[in-house]
A and B are shown apart, each in its own frame.
Chain A
Amino acid sequence: MDYSSILSSAIGELISPTTAAYALAALGLAVHFGYSGLLNFGQAGFMAVGAYGFAISTLTFGVPFFVGLLIAVVASAVFALVLGIPTLRLRADYLAIVTIAAAEIVRYLVTTSGWTAVTGSANGLADFEDGFYSMNPFPEGSYLGMNNRDFFIRVVGWGLVVVCCVLIWLLMRSPWGRVLKGIREDENAVRSLGKNVYAYKMQALIIGGSLGALAGMVFTLPRGAVQPSNYGTELTFFLWTCLLLGGMATVLGPVIGAMMFWVVLSLTQGVLTGLIESGAVTWLSTIQAGQLRYILVGIALMLLMIFRPQGVFGNKKELAFA
């Protein structure tokens, strides 16, 4: 078994743009659930809206990169409004049902063959990333073993993660964040103190959803393609896994959670493949190994919930009263 390549690919996952995208989307979930108590089971839908919003505006309407970015974020805000207006007055579980359904609706809409010219149907869209890479300030060459394109997307992706973390941290220490946390605990009590609970929940839904849209773009740019199958329900649950791993009502938790998630996936994949190739494991094919690692992630999550339910960064004291 080649331990050094297993380890280096795991470390590569640590800073991959996909991990950055997961971190951003999980941070959005932290705003939704960790701070505001909004059960959003449709974060994949927000990511899809962001990715498709950007891809369609670039390809169909030929807008410049930053206009496409703006359209993606605005589209996700509109998506949040549409979801929030009927459900935010109701109990939290209604939002959960509506978001999970809405995310699927988005996925089916972009898959439908009727709009192939615009959405590319099941094949998705490609070749929309030129505007982004044309801004690459790094000349060709090797940067820490990466080419200038890979390096640029990592710098942008993780730069975005840092900026968003700082913004969310600033928001959550403010009185605005305090009202959100109060709503998470008991919205009627907050209402009785003269706060417009509905408006706060809507703002939180939009902010978390916009983070999802940015994540969708970071996810899709290095691939150079956006496909509906990437935004299935399982993506939402991977994001929840990242959030729970790191700690719900924390800023760094989702980021570290996303890193852990991908490192563990990469390590288990590497070790299992290595074992199979070396002949130590004969009852498993490499394809089965790819499935098995998700089972292992599930087991790891169960163990975490039992022995460290607050996540890596969570505050144990908060859980004492759950």
Chain B
Amino acid sequence: MSMHAKDSTERGIDYMTDTRPIAAGGNTPGCKKRDPIVVAENVSRSFGGINAVDVEYLEIPRHKITALIGPNGAGKTTLFNLLTGFDTPNSGKWQFEGNSLAGVSSYKVARMGMVRTFQLTKVMGKLTVMENMRLGGSSQPGERLSKALFKGLWGGREKEITAQANVLLEKFKLDAKKDDYAASLSGGQRKLLEMARSLMVQPKLVMLDEPMAGVNPALTQSLLDHIKNLKAEGMTVLFVEHDMNMVRHIADWVVVMAEGKIVAEGPPGEVMKNPAVIDAYLGAHHDVDLGDAEGIKELEAELEADEESVVGTEDAGILSVDVIAAEVAQEKEQK
């Protein structure tokens, strides 16, 4: 991750405050992006005659947080599975950083830097939290059978992985739980662990499937901060979420799916006013919270009352100041 962060400062772009347009043209469904990381073309998957996913064209912008929303059964998770190699589409091609992913198995996709989490959280219950984290560590030679017997060959890398895991666990406030079995964690803590574990792979694109589902509201703010910080570290985030407040709060770009198709795309404020979206997502029962100014005000008032949130302070928009404050200060000095 530090590597990514260095990249960003080298090019002199702070991804947290980058305001250049995301789309290359208009914000239409399937529009071209200025700098796409994932490109999917004509990807379709049907289950017994029902088209679960039928995406004509989709680009995911690099260094941005993209939300994938849509009603239940819209094909969001299926699209996740297709993109990450956990399921095979009936047709279509898709690529990650210019490399075609058709027919590439899921573990290779993960090694390329495209790491996902699951809607139903998957933690290794009978391994400790620390072991769960270490499992995410990449290029550990001891994971090869030929080298596993000799600790001298992998002990050094193990120390590095452990140090990396400690930093992440501290950030995600799981450091006290380090030696407990993952099965003893609460649902929200498991979500945090799964996310932290996926970051151990040092991915370029993090795909979070409902990161907020079942998370205690008290943890919501810190989870939001974590997701925003990923962008500061040079990662791209794609997430599925039903919580519109969260989408509104952290997403730079919103892709709306309905019945397997992309029905709208654009910045959150714009998309949520789109009548097609309101129709697809909420049907006749239009909830005031969605794009409504009052709903947003309510959320902001709530967040201001929250000590951990930076909304309403001068650091608004740059979450977890303590983590990146040093970097920001450095950049200012360079300028």
> For the complex, what is the distance from the CA of A190 to the CA of B197, rounded to whole Å?
10
Chain A residue contacts of B158, Cβ below 8 A: 175
Chain A: interface secondary structure? helix
B124 proximal to A (CB < 8 A):
yes
B101 proximal to A (CB < 8 A):
no
A194 in contact with B138 (CB, 8 Å): yes
Which residue of chain A has its CB nearest to the CB of B154?
A175
Give the interface residue-count category, chain B. Answer: 35 or more
**A195 with B201, Cβ < 8 A, contacts A182-B127, A185-B125, A185-B127 known:** no
Chain B residue contacts of A176, Cβ below 8 A: 142-145, 148
> For the complex, what is the distance from the CA of A40 to the CA of B136, rounded to whole Å?
28
One digit per residue, 1 when the CB lies within 8 angstroms of any chain B CB and 0 when it does not, for chain A 101-114 equals: 00000000000000
One digit per residue, 1 when the CB lies within 8 angstroms of any chain A CB and 0 when it does not, for chain B 224-264 equals: 00000000000000000000000000000000000000000
> For the complex, what is the distance from the CA of A321 to the CA of B185, rounded to whole Å?
11
B122 in contact with A188 (CB, 8 Å): yes
A134 proximal to B (CB < 8 A):
no
Give the interface residue-count category, chain A. Answer: 20 to 34
Chain A residue contacts of B136, Cβ below 8 A: 193
- Segment touching B, from A50-58, A123-131, A166-174: A166-174
> For the complex, what is the distance from the CA of A256 to the CA of B199, rounded to whole Å?
41
Which residue of chain A has its CB nearest to the CB of B135?
A182
CB neighbors of B among A141-198 (8 A): 167, 170-171, 174-179, 181-182, 184-186, 188-197
> For the complex, what is the distance from the CA of A265 to the CA of B118, rounded to whole Å?
48
CB neighbors of A among B81-129 (8 A): 84, 86, 105-108, 110-111, 115-118, 122-127
Chain B residue contacts of A184, Cβ below 8 A: 126
Which residue of chain B has its CB nearest to the CB of A249?
B126
Residue in B118, B127, B131, B134 whose beta carbon sits within 8 Å of that of A192 in the complex: B118
B288 proximal to A (CB < 8 A):
no
Chain B residue contacts of A91, Cβ below 8 A: none
Interface of B toward A, CB cutoff 8 Å: 84, 86, 105-108, 110-111, 115-118, 122-127, 131-132, 134-138, 140, 142-145, 148-149, 151, 154, 158, 181, 183-184, 194, 197-198, 200-201
Interface of A toward B, CB cutoff 8 Å: 167, 170-171, 174-179, 181-182, 184-186, 188-197, 203, 249, 317-318, 320-321
Q: Give me 9 A-to-B residue pairs in the complex whose CB atoms sit less than 8 angstroms apart, sorted by A's number.
A: A181-B126, A181-B131, A191-B110, A192-B118, A193-B110, A193-B201, A194-B110, A195-B135, A321-B126
